[in-house]
Each structure stands twice: as structure tokens, then as C-alpha cells.
Structure 1
Amino acid sequence: MNSQEKEITYTTSNSYSTLNQLTPQTKRVWLVCHGMGYLSRYFLRYFKGLNAEENYIIAPQAPSKFYLQPKRHVGANWLTKDETAAGMANILNYFDAVLKAEKLPKYFPLIVLGYSQGVSVAMRYLAQRQLQCDQLVLHSGGIPKELKASDFNYLSEATKVKLIYGTEDQYLNKARIEEETSRARELFGSRVSLFPFKGKHVVNVNYIEKLV
């Protein structure tokens, strides 16, 4: 058996979702990355409590869709451990296209939020594209091991980094919480603020609404 794995490049398309309208009254833009098993249009429900006139939310859509059992709802996945670098390269180009399509004003206040698997995608995008943001929110997800403090030297000293997690998260234990906290401080130093809450692996809407 003489099998080979080959690679091609081709053009594809993907959707993304937005909430509210970008107007002169908008005070901040959010770039929010959902977790595994979500779709961007449903992830936006967690941001509906924000002031609609002041907040414009952009939710990219993970490219790989699959059925969630047992009801066969559709969810999506950003990356796996197989060909992670190639998958992330595609996601970088996709995010670039989303932001280009949105034609955001320069120097607009920006909050970047990643939830669960979306944390790794958001952080890699910032590191690769050196996107400035006012807040980086890491909610219940793991920090990619390859990232270094120097990858984020470009960020303004005023950028706030917030680590949110549930103390009863089924994917975390005490050692993992300590590890992720240590990694966040290693990358961002004193800019990191911790926001634990009593709860499982869920999106904390109350904390999201307090970010502004």
C-alpha cells in the first residue's frame, strides 16, 4: 500500500454573525469567539443584555460543523490536534476577511472575548496579527502552550486582561486552574485580573455585562 497525503489550496466561504448596529452612538465593538459545539448566531444570545446602542458584537463562526447527540443539533469546532497550524492559518485568513468586511473605524474601543475553545483561537489571532484591544477576556479556556510573553509586547499598557472561570467547571481542577492562572500572569503580568464564579463550564452572562 503506497498511500500519500497531499495538500491543495482552494477558495471557500463561511458565515459570521453580528448583534446590534454599528452607528455613531456605538461606544465599543466586541469580537467574540464561541466554544466547541456552538454556532455563532446562538452564541450571541449571551450578549443581548448589553446596551444595544452602545455595543456592537461580531461573532465569527468556527468552520467545522458536526451533529450533537442525542438530538442532532448542529455545533461547530475551531481546531483539533491534527494539523493545528494549517487549520489556524485558515482561521487567520477568515478573521482578516471578517474584519475587512465590517470596515470598522480605526482606534475603536475593542473587547476580544474567547470562551472555552474560543480562547485559543482569539489569543492566537491577537498574537499573529498584533490586533490592539482594550480588553482581552479569557473565559473558561486554555492558553495555547506555544504563546510567549513577547507575542503580546505590542499591546498597550492600558489593555486589561480578565480570566473568568467556574470553580465547579468539570474540565478544571485545582492544578489546572493554578496552571492557567500562572500562564496568564506569565504572558500579561499585573494586567491580569481573576474572576472566579461558583458554577460549571457555562458562559457567565453577569460577568460579561459587568465588563462595560
Structure 2
Amino acid sequence: MKSTPPENTREKWLTYPATHPYETLFARTPQTRNVWVVFHGIGFLSRYFLRYFTHLDPKENYVIAPQAPSLYYLDAEYRNVGASWLTREHTREHMANLLNYLDVLSLGESLDTAPNLILMGYSQGVSVLCRWVALKKVRCSRLVLYAGKVPRELTPADFSHLGRETRVEAFAGRSDPFLENNRTGEYDRLETLFPGNLVLTEYEGGHELLRDYIRA
């Protein structure tokens, strides 16, 4: 049975200052060649997501992991905490909040001067990353979409600012249950969204992140 709110309710919105964390791995120095901004999947916290990047050369790589805002307990014992970026409830408004957060992060980390900017999303993080790149016209050297889907509302025009110099890498598990019903359709859509830029890799496995495919 579908639940409905009581009669005579009114939804109201307000704006307020907020404080929100993010995590970094290694240090940005004059020797840094690659600056990564990586978006975790649902159920992660950014500090644990960074475990997948510890094999990178610390002298040449600096990794920034934004943190999804909605925290929740992952188990009935209320011990392990995970996070979620967005749901279908007020997606546009909550994405606007995330854009404000990412604007401040970008400014504070001087992403506009990054020598080689690599943007990566995993699972749910792909949708947030793609909206950020599309709505804020973010440019990068590489756009890595790992085991996630580009939001349906985005079109090739939303990514036309990337140009031919941006390498778009998409990774998908051959047994990923989230692709089993429309794998060919998702691949075709990626080709349409990123014509001439896309490198698609299928790996043996399901909906999982494999460190072997995280390369500078």
C-alpha cells in the first residue's frame, strides 16, 4: 500500500550555512602529476573509499574524495556507517546543494590549476560526477565511469565542452546485475554521449571495484 502524507500539509524550504567534510590521500606538491577527484558509491565513507587508491605513486598522485552528505547505519547493530549521495526524492534540489559543496571544494583545492585532472566515479558516484561535469562544465584530462550509469536527463550536448582531449573510460563487470537487463543499451548510450572519446572495458566480475583498473 502506497503511503500518502496527511491532508493540509505544506512543504517549505529554507537555506542555511552548512559544514561538510572531504578526505585526501597523499600530498599535492610541485612533483604532483595527477590530481584525482573520486566519488564513492552508496554505502561508503570517503575515507574508506581511499583504500582503493593507496597503490598509486604518492609522489605523483594526489587524491581528493568528496563525502556524500546523507549518513545512515549499514547494519542492525548500528555500528557501521555508510553514506548516500542522492535519491529520487528532490534530486534536483539536493544536487544543487552538492554543486555548492563541490564549488567550495574546487576553489579550496585549486582544481583549476591541477596539472592533470582525473575525475572518477564508482557506482552511485558516477551519477553525481556526471551531473557535476555537465552542469558546471568541468574540464578534465580523464573521466572515469566505473560500474555506474550516466543520469538519463543528460545529453551529448551536456558533455560537448570536454572536447577530444578528454579520455572517457567506462568499466563494467560482465556479471554486474545492474546491467543484465540493458547492457547493450547502456553501452550504446555511452557511445552517443561521448563520441570519439570513449574507451569501454569489460572485466570479469560483478558490481565491484577492482584496484587493477585504477591506474594513473
**TM range, smaller chain:** over 0.9
Match of 2:154 in 1: 147
Match of 1:26 in 2: 32
Q: State the shift of 1:74 in Å.
A: 0.2
1:103 aligns with 2:110: yes
1:64 aligns with 2:70: yes
1:201 aligns with 2:203: no
**TM-score (structure 1 length as normaliser):** 0.95
In the alignment, the residues of structure 1 paired with residue 96 and residue 49 of structure 2 have an alpha-carbon distance, to the nearest angstrom, of 23
Match of 1:14 among 13, 20, 31: 20
In the alignment, the residues of structure 2 paired with residue 3 and residue 104 of structure 1 have an alpha-carbon distance, to the nearest angstrom, of 43
Match of 2:120 in 1: 113
Q: State the shift of 1:100 in Å.
A: 1.2
Match of 1:5 in 2: 11
Whether the aligned pair in 1 keeps the contact of 2:173 and 2:205 (CA below 8 Å) is: yes
Q: State the shift of 1:70 in Å.
A: 4.2
Percent identical residues = 44
Residues 13, 110 of structure 1: alpha-carbon distance in 2 compared, 3 angstrom cutoff? same
1:183 aligns with 2:189: yes
Q: State the shift of 1:107 in Å.
A: 5.3
Residues 107, 26 of structure 1: alpha-carbon distance in 2 compared, 3 angstrom cutoff? closer
Deviations 1:112-171, CA, capped at 9 Å, x for gaps:
000000000000000111111011111001110010111111113111111101111132
Match of 2:176 among 154, 169, 172: 169
User: Which amino acid is 2:150 matched to?
Assistant: I
Root-mean-square deviation (CA, aligned residues, Å) is 1.2
In the alignment, the residues of structure 2 paired with residue 15 and residue 57 of structure 1 have an alpha-carbon distance, to the nearest angstrom, of 14
Whether the aligned pair in 1 keeps the contact of 2:106 and 2:112 (CA below 8 Å) is: no
In the alignment, the residues of structure 2 paired with residue 75 and residue 96 of structure 1 have an alpha-carbon distance, to the nearest angstrom, of 24
Q: State the shift of 1:71 in Å.
A: 4.8
2:168 is paired with a residue whose SS is: strand
Give ranges in structure 1 of 5+ residues lacking alignment: none
Deviations 1:4-62, CA, capped at 9 Å, x for gaps:
11111111111000000000110010010000000000000000011011000000000
In the alignment, the residues of structure 2 paired with residue 25 and residue 107 of structure 1 have an alpha-carbon distance, to the nearest angstrom, of 12
In the alignment, the residues of structure 2 paired with residue 126 and residue 198 of structure 1 have an alpha-carbon distance, to the nearest angstrom, of 29
User: Which amino acid is 1:140 matched to?
Assistant: A
- Alignment size in residue pairs: 209
Residues 201, 71 of structure 1: alpha-carbon distance in 2 compared, 3 angstrom cutoff? farther
User: Which amino acid is 2:190 matched to?
Assistant: A
